[in-house]
Amino acid sequence: MIRINLLGRARPKAARKAVPLEGALQAGLLLAAVVFSIGVLWYEWAQLDSDAQKTNAHISQQQREKARLEDLKNQVDSFEKEKTVLQQRIGIIEDLQRNRTGGQELLDALANTVGRTDTLWLTSLDRKGNTLSLSGSAGSINAVANFITELRRSGYFDQVEIKETHQDESSKTVQTFVFELTAQFTLPGAKAPASASASTPAPAPAPAPARKG
């Protein structure tokens, strides 16, 4: 149904409620505080994220450096092992070289020395460098003493020392003495010449007696 206003009066409008200015100001300040807090939190988060990225980058760099140092250490250890092996090989070669030097002269000198000693036989010879260990048997104690004397006289042996000598009880029919001694083998040309002492001038011959006229 259509209603017609015959009186010509306008319907009163609803009165607008006035918003207090103080409430609007408080809302604005609250909004600004919220925005500022969000900004501060975002800034702090950005700083922490940046620091975390720098820390992770530093950790990665340190891990790479650690891996490089470990690889370098492994290389050094490998070089040290190779150095040790090479030094051992060099030592063996030097020992063989020392033992080979003068080998024929050693055998000849021993053969000649034993040949000049009666009733004496060598049973073993051990050489380490220039140090000799000799073992043998002899018919008497004097034969052992003569052998030591011949060794010293030969010019090839120094520091001859008797280690042990005793009668062989296992031999019932023939008296036998076993002995052990050590000596230093040196080639005559390798010995350092002794310092020549000041020679004393020979005394002048006595003058011949004057002939009587």
**Rounded mean pLDDT of 14-22?**
58
CA distance 63 to 208: 105
Domain ranges of the chain: 33-100, 104-189
| pLDDT-based confidence at residue 159 (cuts at 50, 70, 90) | very high
Is the pLDDT score of 51 beyond 70? yes
In three-state secondary structure terms, 204 is: coil
Query: Which pLDDT score is estimated for 170?
Result: 80
Q: What is the pTM of this model?
A: 0.43
| pLDDT-based confidence at residue 5 (cuts at 50, 70, 90) | low
Q: How far apart are the first and last CA of the chain?
A: 207
What's 188's DSSP letter?
A: G
Contact between 187 and 156 (Cβ < 8 Å): yes
- For residue 156, give every residue at least 6 positions away whose Cβ sits within 8 Å of its Cβ, in sequence order, or none: 105, 106, 109, 185, 186, 187, 188
Is the pLDDT score of 180 beyond 90? yes
**Rounded mean pLDDT of 130-150?**
91
- 104-189, superfamily in CATH? General secretion pathway protein M, EpsM (3.30.1360.100)
